[in-house]
Structure 1
């Protein structure tokens, strides 16, 4: 009887998980449909915005360099060629896929809320009260990563890559898929990197990471950050530094977060 009750409890958890997944998928699907309906606006004002010479980042960089009396390619941004579509179904499939990716991005806070709702019954009342800010903090960091990627990394990378040419004998003819893939990969990749403090919080809670460990390997982390910056940005020092700085700041914030968690655990241990 006890085994049957335990089995029913396990099946009940599976059923609950199934409905959390169904609601999460539904949220992504609904947002994706809305984005697909307004795909022209999404592409022109978001996914293809970096191909416009008057994009705000280009203007700000131009003003910045001009202020110091320096000539900059950001003052003469031009994209001569249109993106090309090589297959009859390429534009349709690209719009469906990009709508799905953006659906995941926009529904991220709701997805976190569904995860929290599934985990919450197994937490104590004190743990529930302390974890209420998790959704806000994680979502805030995620969208900070999206904004940083969209307004800093993407325009710098696109401006460089579109103007990079080994020789005049080679002509750049970029496809729609390659451009959209570049933009969406940057958005997701950088936004996930911005979740570092949240990841360190949980790793510290389960004892896999300590502040001393993070301090000890700070130099190694710097090397990893620079490598990541080199991968997701053009191969020039300025771009890599621009990307590396916020990630290093997040690493230092993660050390502080780890310290707070350790102190809280030690205080609870003394009280018990």
Structure 2
């Protein structure tokens, strides 16, 4: 009897590993396909990404390539980043398809809206950074350039700087989702989040000062949206946590995977 149980456990584990490998291969294939489609337009995409800085530079100024291979690797790196961000719904779907069979009904109902919200908020954060934050940042940086100094930024350094800004704002905009998840897990309560509001505001401004350039405008453009998202997270957590939970026994019967 014990041998049969061990054999069934080994078979189940092997099935999970095979499914995990299949999901990973599909996720990677999706990224590769999008990347291959973007490669012919990589230089054009980089030109559009550089436009917020070029608009602030004096007429005739341009970016430079310090390293020999930078003109090749910088657009390629940007294309890979865009491919990953573009296929994020596909990547999350593969993750969802793998873990969904082992979730309770209530967990399934909550997980999908949270995943969709997380993707949308990340996209909104990146768009906010590109259309509002970067022009303000580069306007400040070009205005404080010393007299007689030509601002000629390396294309790889510029790309790294912009990608950090994108990730900082994209991840910061995930704050409501993070608060809801913490509340659902029981680690915090909406009441505690309201009580900690003052500490959270201080932390937001400290974080904004660390991850943004040293100008007040860009710091405010990160700290203020984070505060508004913090308040939105409190409201969402209060609405979801206050809902009566389904009977656990009924959920157990609906769980197909032990």
* Equivalent position to 1:38, from 8, 33, 41: 41
How far 1:2 sits from its partner (Å)? 0.6
* Equivalent position to 2:129, from 141, 149, 164: 149
SS at match of 2:62: coil
Is there any run of 5+ residues in structure 2 with no aligned partner, and where? 250-258
Q: Does 1:114 align with 2:94?
A: yes
Q: Does 1:91 align with 2:71?
A: yes
How far 1:43 sits from its partner (Å)? 1.6
- Relative distance call for 1:224 and 1:26 in structure 2 (3 A) is same
Higher relative contact order, chain-length normalized (CA < 8 Å, sep 6+): 2
How far 1:214 sits from its partner (Å)? 1.3
Contact 1:156 1:234 in 2 (8 A): no
**What is the CA deviation profile of residues 63-120 of structure 1, one whole-angstrom value per residue up to 9, with x for unaligned ones?**
xxxxxxxxxxxxx763653211122211111122111111111111111211211111
- Once residues 109 and 147 of structure 2 are traced to their aligned partners in structure 1, the CA distance between those partners, rounded to angstroms, is 63
Q: Does 1:252 align with 2:254?
A: no
Contact 2:169 2:222 in 1 (8 A): no
Correspondence 1:213-224 to 2 at 5 A: 213-224=192-203
* Equivalent position to 1:173, from 152, 176, 182: 152
**What is the CA deviation profile of residues 183-212 of structure 1, one whole-angstrom value per residue up to 9, with x for unaligned ones?**
111112211111111122222222212112
How far 1:251 sits from its partner (Å)? 0.4
Contact 2:46 2:78 in 1 (8 A): no
Is there any run of 5+ residues in structure 1 with no aligned partner, and where? 54-75
What is the aligned residue count? 246
How far 1:131 sits from its partner (Å)? 3.4
How far 1:16 sits from its partner (Å)? 1.3
How far 1:252 sits from its partner (Å)? 0.6
TM-score by length of 2: 0.85
How far 1:221 sits from its partner (Å)? 1.1
- Relative distance call for 1:106 and 1:13 in structure 2 (3 A) is same
Contact 2:74 2:156 in 1 (8 A): yes
- 2:15 matched residue in structure 1: 12
* Equivalent position to 2:206, from 210, 224, 227: 227
- Once residues 148 and 53 of structure 2 are traced to their aligned partners in structure 1, the CA distance between those partners, rounded to angstroms, is 23
How far 1:269 sits from its partner (Å)? 7.5
- 2:188 matched residue in structure 1: 209
SS at match of 2:236: helix
- Once residues 23 and 202 of structure 1 are traced to their aligned partners in structure 2, the CA distance between those partners, rounded to angstroms, is 27
* Equivalent position to 2:116, from 128, 136, 139: 136
SS at match of 2:186: coil
- 1:268 matched residue in structure 2: 245
- Once residues 271 and 127 of structure 1 are traced to their aligned partners in structure 2, the CA distance between those partners, rounded to angstroms, is 11
Compute the RMSD of aligned alpha carbons. 2.3
- Relative distance call for 1:34 and 1:170 in structure 2 (3 A) is same
SS at match of 1:268: coil
- 2:50 matched residue in structure 1: 48
TM-score by length of 1: 0.81
Q: Does 1:158 align with 2:155?
A: no
